[in-house]
Amino acid sequence: MKDSLFLLFIIGVFLLVTGVNSQNPTCPTGGPSSINYCKCSPESPGFRIECDATYTDPETVRTALMFYQSYGLIVTLTVNGIVQSKFSYVPDDFLVGNQIPNVNFKCNHGSNVNTGILIFSVYAFTDSFGECGLTGELIFSNCNLRQFDSAVLKNCRQLNKLAFMDSHVESLIDIPTLGSLKNFTVYSPKQWTGATQRGLSRMTLAPGASLPQITYLDLTGNSLEDDSIEFISDETTIEVIHLEGNNFGAVPNLTGSFNLHTFSMALNSSSLVSILLPNPRIQTRSLNASFYSGSKAINDVALLEGMFGNDVINLKLNMTEFKEEVFLGPLTASNGLIINLSPAARILCGCYISWLVRDNPSLLPQVNSGICTDGRPFESIPLEDFSCCGPESLMRRIDRQQHEIDILKARINQLLIHPE
């Protein structure tokens, strides 16, 4: 009996040790001399492979992947220092059948469209069976990609992050359905030397395509027009959206973005703005939505709707009006909605602002940085300034309160007739 227990103990220790080793494999030594510039390091539960494209071409990277895959899983592949001379075309089945969670291309194109380009075969990430090997993140950094062919991403059903960081990509046309994609970023902080535009100028989803799991979208710093972001209205899972620095003139309809909690957008052309925010809301976090005007744009808000609670709306717009019919409803119906205006904006006051200062002074703390055309803050205007103003806003307030009373009476009567 003791011998049996001892034997079981030895087997258990062996399994435990081998199990730990399987989670932390050791990088193999040797291999073809051609892969000397592809370095291996442990990364649970497999290997991280980093290749220096200064000395390595795509076929050598494929050779390295074939060598290391026989010893364990490849968790991360990073190709560093990509330049035109050695690494300019990514061929078919670049991942040689591997399923790799993290793939990174880091280029040295110097923010200049004339110093190199990186082109992909449409089958670069698919194997001979048509399966996509991208199972996590695909990130490009400082790469000149020009007109990136979105067909490269076909069948990449497990891709959950796609990011173009400080890279030059002019268009993304007919993006296929990416069923697992959660993070989609095209961040273009500057215009590349020799380029006619900054970043993306056109982006479309393929007919019938969607991003059903998207939660984070960042298109900051591109040259997109309104039609490129129409798809946002159909993405109900999205939580964070950043749209600064493009050529937008309208806010997308966000009524169905039930999970949204962070939104920012710049408007670079003059327009009357309709802001339709989530209604209803699934997200329990407060909503923080920010809107900015370009230096020459005038943007007055014509409509503000949504399900408001303890939220913050930053209207950093070049506004000229703060209308009762737009803002009184959200301010009174919410539980602590804060509206922050731009200190640089100059609002037409006088009788046009009597609805707030005279008739609803309790709402003044919810409106920050309101400045009249004469430079006075809203809260500093004395009531005598409204002595000649008509009672229109007061009458509207009375009518609204009476309507609310009628609704309350109807509910009480219904409860009396049909008690629960």
Measured CA to CA, the distance from residue 412 to residue 170 in angstroms comes to 60
For residue 406, give the H/E element and its range. helix 392-417
Q: Is 259 helix (H, G, I), strand (E, B) or coil?
A: coil
As given in the structure block, the two tokens for residue 172 are: 């993304």
Beta bridge partners of 139: 104, 163
Angle at 202 between CA 196 and CA 206, to 5 degrees: 150
pLDDT along the chain (420 residues), means of 10: 44 39 75 93 96 96 96 97 92 97 97 94 95 97 95 96 97 97 97 95 96 98 96 96 96 96 95 95 90 93 96 97 96 93 96 95 97 97 92 63 65 62
Query: Which residues have CB under 8 Å from 368's CB, separation 6+?
Result: 338, 339, 340, 341
Q: Where are the domains of the chain?
A: 35-245, 248-404
Measured CA to CA, the distance from residue 362 to residue 107 in angstroms comes to 56
- CATH topology assigned to domain 35-245: 3.80.10
As given in the structure block, the two tokens for residue 240 are: 């964070």
24: which DSSP letter? S
Residue with the two structure tokens 């494929």: 62
Measured CA to CA, the distance from residue 296 to residue 271 in angstroms comes to 11
193: which DSSP letter? B
Model pLDDT, residue 394: 57
> How many other β-carbons are positioned within 10 Å of the β-carbon of residue 113?
17
State the pairing for strand pair 216-218/202-205: unpaired
Measured CA to CA, the distance from residue 252 to residue 179 in angstroms comes to 22
Measured CA to CA, the distance from residue 313 to residue 367 in angstroms comes to 10
363 with 331: CB under 8 angstroms? yes
